[in-house]
Amino acid sequence: MSRCASEAASASVVPNPVLRDLGRACDFATIHRQMVEFTRQRDSTTPDEYWYLTHAPVFTQGLNGRPEHVLDPGGIPVVPTDRGGQVTYHGPGQLVLYTLVDLARRGIGVREWVSRLEQSIIDVLATFGVSAERLSGAPGVYVSGAKIAALGLKVRQGRCYHGLSFNIDMDLAPFARINPCGMARLPVTQLRDVCAEGATASALSIEGIARQLVELLSAPGD
| Separation of alpha carbons 185 and 114, rounded Å | 24
Could you read off the pLDDT of 185-206 as tens digits, one per residue?
Answer: 999 999 999 997 667 677 899 9
Fold of 16-218: BirA Bifunctional Protein; domain 2 (3.30.930)
Burial per residue of 156-183, b for 16 or more beta-carbon CB atoms within 10 angstroms, e otherwise: eeebbbbbbbbbbbbebebbebbbbbbe
145 is in an annotated binding site: no
Which one has a higher pLDDT value, 5 or 143?
Answer: 143
Active site residue 160: no
- Express as a percent the part of the chain with pLDDT over 90: 86
- Among residues 26, 160, 181, 195, the one annotated as catalytic is 181
How high does pLDDT run on average in the chain? 92
- Locate all alpha helices (DSSP H) within 108-148, ordered by sequence: 110-127
User: Where do the structural domains in the chain lie, given as residue ranges?
Assistant: 16-218
Which one has a higher pLDDT value, 201 or 168?
Answer: 168
Give this prediction's pTM: 0.92
Question: Looking at the predicted structure, is the pLDDT value of residue 1 above 70?
Answer: no
Question: Looking at the predicted structure, is the pLDDT value of residue 3 above 60?
Answer: no
2 is in an annotated binding site: no
Q: What is the mean pLDDT of residues 18-30?
A: 98
The pLDDT value given to residue 209: 97
84 is in an annotated binding site: yes
| Separation of alpha carbons 158 and 52, rounded Å | 22
- Number of Cα atoms under 13 Å in the Cβ half of residue 5: 2
The pLDDT value given to residue 203: 84
What are residue 175's phi and psi, to 5 degrees?
Answer: -60, -25
| Separation of alpha carbons 161 and 49, rounded Å | 10
32 is in an annotated binding site: no
165 is in an annotated binding site: yes
Nearest to 165 by CA among 178, 151, 176, 177: 151
Neighbour tally for 27: CB within 10 Å: 13
| Separation of alpha carbons 22 and 163, rounded Å | 14
Could you read off the pLDDT of 67-99 as tens digits, one per residue?
Answer: 999 999 999 999 999 999 999 999 999 999 999
Nearest to 117 by CA among 166, 84, 80: 166
